[in-house]
Structure 1
Amino acid sequence: MQKQEGFRGNLEMIASMTIAGTIGWFVVMSEQSPETAVFWRCLFGATFMLLVCLYKGIFKQVKLNKPSLILLTVGGVALSLNWLFLFKSFSLSSIAIATITYHIEPFILVLLGAIFFKEHISTDKVLWLICAFLGTIFIIVGKQEGGAALTDKDTYLQGVFYAVIAASFYAIAAITAKKLKHIPPHIIVAFQLFIGIFVLLPFTPLGDISAISAVSWSFLVTIGIIHTGLMCLLLYSAIQKIPTALVGALSFIYPVVAVIVDWAAFDTRLTLLQFAGASAILIGAAGVNLNWRITKKKLKENRNELV
């Protein structure tokens, strides 16, 4: 029974990360501004999660106090701004580069934990942080190596910068979620999505709804229901069934799928330096997520040499 549950958890995690890896294509194909895409993602996603919570009777299990409401609101603002800057990054750099750069989030989370919660940063994490930082530099230089025009370079760098901002906001959202362990994740996501609606409302041209084509609507609805609602359900279900280390390992399906989709749909190919940078970021992120150790291994090797 446990094996069967673990197998199901693996499939759910793989499915959720595969869905996440395709979102860039759906955003681009919707032909909507990042503000519009995020607004409708929040609206459709919040509606879906509300129905799920009502169906499961989750609202009856929760009593929200003032501190919880403040954390939920901060998390909702951060989550919506995270999506906004990530979607902006897709069109300015590329889906592949934006998604890979976005995966510096674990390092930002570590730094925020050290600054605000005085959490200890191990030597290993510092080394993985340096690895990812060098990877980000390689990605930036990699575009310049491609010989693009100056305006293209500026746009590309802006896209990379937006991906870093997106990762920073996601880290803030993750920190607030950690402080809300007593609240079911479905409630957290539903509340944050509703906050996102109001954050993006002033920047969304609702008067132009009639100009949105049926095809664009299909992409927006899919982003809200599949890439937000269904993906969250699969992710939370998987987390309950498989070890944390396996969750961390399978999460790297997300950027791999994004790179493949970007190449297949838009013929986007990484330069040698970009590939090296992407590898450094993903290896560094894996090192942090999976607690890979560097220092102890080296100490053992040194001891063996002395013997």
Structure 2
Amino acid sequence: MSTTSSPRGTALWQMLAAQFLIASVGIFVHEGGQDPVTTVFYRCLFGAIFLGLWGLTGGHLRGILQDRKLVLGAIASGVLLVLSWVSLFAGMARSSISVSTMMFYCYPFVMMVLATLLLGERTRPADWGWTLLAFLGLLCSAHPQRMLSGMGAHYQAGIGLSLLAGVLCGASLLLSRHISKQRAIAVVFLQCCVGALMLAAFSSSTVLRPGNHWYWLVGLGVIHSGLAYVLSYSAYRHLAVATIAVLSFGYPLLALLLDYLVYGQRLALVQLAGLGLIVLGSLGVSLKWAPARSGAERSVPQPPPHACMPDRDPRR
């Protein structure tokens, strides 16, 4: 049987398709033309509708209300996830899709640090080295000269909001890590429901008019909070963790490429160098690169870095 017709080959294509869909989130946000709170509200609303229908037909939501731990975990992590999305979209409006994506990419490292400090999980010394390298990459990606001079407070606020989004995302992932391994689709469905309830009263009424913006808002929910999740979780069970870690770099790289192709946003050399350091640091942590003497030590497992999704689900 050929690779492309095997379960693993199909999973590879599913994962790549999911990465491409998630990478386009900035375009949908920009073209939707709404404020961040309104945008996230409709992302959650349409995402909950899609995932609710998918979960009911596939049996993923069976008995979730009786699972108190799952519901409470989904609510707590959902609040953080929704705030992360609002911060990220606000950051994109003040800087750019490219810059915000790279700043947001700090979230796997935030998760590692929080797991070490709050949960006492062991982290290899080598992982701290890779994390410092990635942090240096983040500083370069922010284009320090531009941040301190030309763009002023508006650009700086975009950087800060994008970093805040990464921190909130990392905390959300840490909260939902254990429960999402068992009922991934159910957790994401509940998180979207939490977001819709949280933001309903704060959504702008000016959106309630006919227009093309509805295509983009529906797409955010159905594509980015629905279809991309389903494709990813369908692929995870057939792929090794190392393969997932490498493929997950499709998200930031494709986001940068789409920002260039659609809006002509170019990165400076210092930003490209920063991206390279982020990729290198992330791979070092995800693939557990270390000198031979520390190779037996284990690090905190890192989630696949795409748009703040819960940890992999090996069974659903």
Q: How far is 1:176 from its partner?
A: 2.0
CA distance in structure 2 between the partners assigned to 1:182 and 1:246 by the alignment: 18
Distance in 1 between residues matched to 2:184 and 2:195, nearest whole Å: 16
The 10-residue stretch of structure 1 (157-166 or 185-194) with the greater mean CA deviation from structure 2: 157-166
Query: Is the contact between residue 143 and residue 271 of structure 1 (CA under 8 Å) also seen in structure 2?
Result: no
| Pair 1:122-2:131 in alignment | no
Match for 1:73: what amino acid? Answer: I
User: What amino acid maps onto 1:276 in structure 2?
Assistant: A
Q: For the residues of structure 1 that align with 2:293 and 2:12, how far apart are their CA atoms?
A: 30
CA distance in 1, matches of 2:221, 2:294: 47
Distance 2:138 2:153 in 1: 16
Structure 1 gap ranges (5+): 300-307
**Shift in alpha-carbon separation, 1:143–1:266, aligned structure 2, 3 A:** farther
1:104–1:255 distance in 2 versus 1, CA, 3 Å:
same
Query: What CA distance in whole angstroms lies between the structure 1 residues aligned with 2:239 and 2:218?
Result: 30
Q: TM-score, normalised by structure 1?
A: 0.89
Find the aligned partners of 1:268 and 1:66 in 2 and give their Cα distance.
46
Q: Give 1:83 shift.
A: 0.9
Q: Match of 1:291, as an amino acid?
A: K
Partner of 1:200: 199
Give the corresponding residue for 1:305: none
Give the structure, 1 or 2, with the largest relative contact order (CA under 8 Å, sep 6 or more).
1
Choose which of 92, 96, 99 in structure 2 pairs with 1:97: 99
The gaps in structure 2 that reach 5 residues or longer are 296-316
Q: Is the 8 A contact 1:74 1:176 kept in 2?
A: yes
* Alignment partner of 2:243 out of 246, 253, 267: 246
The number of residue pairs the alignment matches comes to: 293
CA contact (8 A) 1:100 1:282 kept: no
Question: Within 5 Å, which residues of 2 pair with 1:136-215?
Answer: 136-140=138-142, 142-145=143-146, 149=150, 152-181=151-180, 183-205=182-204, 207-211=205-209, 213-215=210-212
Alignment of 1:8-87 (within 5 A): 8-62=10-64, 64-87=66-89
Report the AA paired with residue 191 of structure 2. Answer: Q
* CA displacement 1:66-119 (0-9 Å, x = unmatched): 333221111110111111111111111111111112111111010010011101
**Which stretch shows the higher mean deviation, 56-65 or 97-106?**
56-65
Highest CA radius of gyration, 1 or 2?
1
Q: d(CA) in 2 for partners of 1:127 and 1:58?
A: 40
Quote how far apart the aligned CAs of 1:231 are: 0.3
Q: Which residue of 2 aligns with 1:303?
A: none
Instruction: Give the structure 1 partner of residue 217 of structure 2.
Output: 220
How many percent identity over aligned positions?
28
Which position in structure 1 is the counterpart of 2:298? none
Residue 286 of structure 1 is aligned with which of 283, 287, 297? 283
Partners of 1:62 and 1:183 within 8 A in 2:
no
**TM-score if structure 2 supplies the norm length?**
0.87
Q: Is the 8 A contact 2:133 2:277 kept in 1?
A: yes
C-alpha distance 202-2 of structure 1, shift in aligned 2 (>3 A): farther
The one of 232, 237, 243 aligned to 1:235: 232
Partner in structure 2 of residue 296 of structure 1? 292
How far is the alpha carbon of 1:146 from its aligned partner?
Answer: 8.4
Comparing 22-31 with 168-177, greater Cα deviation is found at 168-177
Matches within 5 A, 1:243-282: 243-282=240-279
Q: CA RMSD in A?
A: 2.1
Contact 2:56-2:62 within 8 A present in 1 as well: no
Assess if the C-alpha contact under 8 Å between 1:101 and 1:160 holds in 2. yes
